[in-house]
Amino acid sequence: MKTNSFTFKLDDEQQSTLKRLLANSKYHCENVPHTQIAVSIPDCRINLYKSGKLLIQGKAAQEWITFTLETEILKEAALGYEELSDPEAFKPHMGIDESGKGDFFGPLVIASAYVDEKLVERLRDMGVRDSKKISSDNVALNMARDIRKLLGDRCAMVTIGPRSYNRMYSTIRNVNKMLAWGHARAIEDLLGKVPECPRALSDKFGPTHQIERALLEKGKKIKLDQRTKAESDPAVAAASILARAGFLYALRKMGKEYAFEVPKGASEKVRREAEKLVAYKGPGILLDTAKCHFQTTDKVLAEVGYSRKDLPTPT
């Protein structure tokens, strides 16, 4: 479960620095008993108590800690590696993660990122963590830019656009097998740039052998690990941010091409936008913009007077 409440103990100098920082007009003052200062910003409440205890709460708490508290007050990384006790995380390896799997619109993007001990420390200093813990798209995009600058050729990305996705699904009919194929390609692509990488780690989404079977000659020589909550690993965290950025860029490009704001997820808002798009362009537009095996497809088509049989065969 994601934590939205954090507590820190600040020394006198840190308390003074924080109070000066929170005096900025962008922070809204609150009246909270026993505090030296209490403020709020959207989705985040910050209370500094007389005891020196600092309490940060809200959906944007982690983001504020990473980009303000750590850089301006603590001068060190406090979040993102609490679960990192595995010494293997600091040894040379690559991480793989994906974005877009649960989104009706847009592609499926899989990224891989290579790290060694020095790169892990640099990523830690940058506050890199699982992209799902970053609430702002702009923050994710900026962080992805910094990661790409740091890693250079030591990262790779595989993008399965909607038409290719729909064509693959019509044959494979299993999302985990498609994920395994994408992970294998991301591993192979990165091994072409960093052939000495000994190990690959990803989040566990299905049997490991699914990825192993999809690997080609280079990939068959690498040690492949999967585990739950792999995003606590710095390489996987970096890959998750790169994949999310790739997905967001793809949505923006799609929005410009078809002249509509492409929403994420599979919510009611997504359905409404899809209905307008189909009403204007016809059902075939979904093959180029959406993942058509989603149940959302049937609901959208029915609302606009079509059915799944009106969808062309993916080619």
Least confident of 4-8, 76-80, 110-114, 229-233: 76-80
Average pLDDT, the chain: 90
Q: Give residue-wise pLDDT tens across range 116-153.
A: 999 998 888 787 876 676 778 888 899 999 999 999 99
Predicted local confidence at residue 219, as pLDDT: 76
Q: Give residue-wise pLDDT tens across range 50-85.
A: 999 999 999 898 889 888 998 889 876 655 544 445
User: Quick one: pLDDT band at residue 5, thresholds 50, 70, 90?
Assistant: confident
Least confident of 21-35, 48-62, 64-78, 295-309: 64-78
**DSSP conformation letters of the chain:** ----EEEEE--HHHHHHHHHHHTSTTSEE---TTEEEEEEETTEEEEEETTSEEEEESTTHHHHIIIIIIIIII-S--SS-TT---GGGGSSEEEEEEE-TT-SBS-EEEEEEEE-HHHHHHHHHTT---GGG---HHHHHHHHHHHHHHHTTSEEEEEE-HHHHHHHHHHH--HHHHHHHHHHHHHHHHHTT-TT--EEEEE-SS-HHHHHHH--TTGGGSEEEEETTGGGSHHHHHHHHHHHHHHHHHHHHHHHHHTS----SSSHHHHHHHHHHHHHH-TTHHHHHB-TTSHHHHHHHHHTT--GGGSPPP-
Predicted local confidence at residue 94, as pLDDT: 97
Q: Give residue-wise pLDDT tens across range 76-100.
A: 665 554 444 567 888 999 999 999 9
User: Quick one: pLDDT band at residue 3, thresholds 50, 70, 90?
Assistant: low
**Average of pLDDT values for 286-302?**
97
Q: Which domains does the chain have, with CATH numbers?
A: 5-74 (3.30.310.10), 88-253 (3.30.420.10), 261-310 (no CATH)
Predicted local confidence at residue 126, as pLDDT: 80
The proportion of the chain whose per-residue pLDDT surpasses 70, expressed as a percent, equals 94
Predicted local confidence at residue 82, as pLDDT: 45
Q: Give residue-wise pLDDT tens across range 151-194.
A: 999 999 999 999 999 999 999 999 999 999 999 999 999 999 99
**Average of pLDDT values for 291-299?**
96
Angle (CA) 103 104 105, round 5°: 95
Predicted local confidence at residue 130, as pLDDT: 64
Predicted local confidence at residue 83, as pLDDT: 44
Predicted local confidence at residue 80, as pLDDT: 53
Listed ranges 160-169, 198-207, 227-236; the one with the highest mean pLDDT:
160-169
